[in-house]
Amino acid sequence: MTAATIKTGALKSGLKAFGLAAVVSIAITAYGQGIWGPLVLANLRLSPGVPWAAPLMAALLAGLILYLSGRGWPKATRATRRRLLRWNAMPWPTFALAVGAGLLGLAAFGGLWIAAADLVHIPAGIQPKMTGVPLPSAIAFLVMSSLAAPLSEEAAFRGYAMGLLEQGWKSAPAAIVGSSVLFAAVHVLQGLDPVKLSLYFTAGLIFATLAYLTNSLYAAMAVHSAGDVLGFTVLWPHDQHAHGMGFADPMFLPALAALVVFTPLAILAFRRLAKVGQPLRAARGERPLMPAALAA
């Protein structure tokens, strides 16, 4: 077997892993995101004062997580599903450290987003309209929106996609980058803009690094939820309205300060988390990510 043959085989295997990760992650995201929107619209049309869509979506998400974590048919894939989801507990101090590192990363990311939007025009994304919606319903919808995306997207990209890419590519850093590419690509509906998609890619790197360093989705989901709240309340409204560019925007200087101050703090926190979380990552190497039959 020549070196060229080996290289071609490795390339085909890598592309196959990426394609499988893309299909699976998009399917999971479509379930989590595709159902929620129509439910909200139906709720607002039929009974806007009673936010029944939120508890119904919570039940549907619970069913999704139970299945992805290994419950239900078929039995042959239960261990694989449980492994890929990274639904793993961790010590509370490690969880607190991971969430703290993620929040520092989010603070820097928020500064990066505002600064980028003040230097290069970023098209406004899809922002839900709550005009005329009763306050209890608006709060319920905001809370569920801040939970539906973290649950489904973390399961899709930091769970299944990253796990499949780790198995196929034999490289955790490459899997982190690859899953972040897929995470950015699925946000193309928010605007086919390279700057905006690169920002989503950066957010994906934060969440993926958290999931990898802790071998768990718990902290990544918590930080992702906080990131969505930041988006709903600060970042996306900033892009929705006309604003000055550069220093003409009052938010530009605070954004630069946040980027400069919180970036090194986040790096230090992630380095600490890498050391503390080493036993959690070591436990993942005790058995293969998927059965040989599925990996073939």
Q: What is the pLDDT of residue 286?
A: 40
Structure tokens at 65: 């997580």
> Any idea which residue has 């508890």 for tokens?
55
Phi, psi dihedral angles at 186 (to 5 degrees)? -70, -15
Q: What is the pLDDT of residue 3?
A: 58
Preceding amide of 134 cis, omega within 30:
no
Q: What is the pLDDT of residue 5?
A: 56
CA distance 178 to 200: 13
Structure tokens at 74: 């078929």
> Any idea which residue has 């360093």 for tokens?
213
Q: Is the dihedral of CA 27, 176, 159, 195 positive or negative?
A: negative
Domain edges within the chain: 3-295
Q: What is the pLDDT of residue 51?
A: 95
Query: Across the 296 residues of the chain, what is the mean pLDDT of every consecutive 10-residue run?
Result: 60 88 95 88 92 95 94 92 94 97 98 96 72 86 86 96 95 97 92 91 98 97 94 90 89 97 98 96 60 36
Q: What is the pLDDT of residue 148?
A: 87
Q: What is the pLDDT of residue 295?
A: 36
Q: What is the pLDDT of residue 285?
A: 66
Q: What is the pLDDT of residue 180?
A: 98
Structure tokens at 58: 């919570």
CA distance 97 to 80: 28
Contact 207/223 with Cβ under 8 angstroms?
yes
Q: What is the pLDDT of residue 152?
A: 94
